[in-house]
Amino acid sequence: MTWVWWAALVMLFAAVAVTIARAVRPGTVSDRAVAMDVVASVIQCGLFVGAALAGDGVLVDVALTLGLLGFLSSVTVARFVERMRTTAASAAVTEESPR
C-alpha cells in the first residue's frame, strides 16, 4: 500500500513543478497569483498525504494553516489587482478629460 502513497507524492511533486514553471513565465500578476495559490494547494495535499503515511496529526494542522494562509494571500492579491485596475482606469479618464 505504501507505493500508492509514494505515487501520490510523485504526482504532487510533478504538479508543483509544472505550476512553478507557469508562475515564472511572463504574465500578469493575476496569473502568477493563481499559480502560487495552486502551488500552496498542492503542497497542502502533499502534507495531507504525508500525514496519512506517517500517521502524524501535526502535519494536518500545518496543512490547514497553509490553506488559511493561501486563502488570505489570494484575497489580498485580488484586492491589490482590483485597486491597481481602478487606479489605472481613473488615470486614463483624467488624461482624456479636457482642461
C-alpha cell at 5: 502513497
Q: What are phi and psi of 32, to 5 degrees?
A: -70, -35
Q: Is the dihedral of CA 37, 39, 44, 49 positive or negative?
A: positive
SS3 96: helix
Note the pLDDT tens digit of each residue in 46-63.
888 888 888 888 989 999
Whether 73 contacts 35, CB under 8 Å: no
- Domain encompassing residue 83: 2-96
Domain count for the chain, please give it.
1
pLDDT band at 65 (very low <50, low <70, confident <90, very high): very high
C-alpha cell at 86: 481602478
C-alpha cell at 1: 500500500
Note the pLDDT tens digit of each residue in 11-60.
888 988 888 888 888 878 878 888 888 888 888 988 888 888 888 889 89
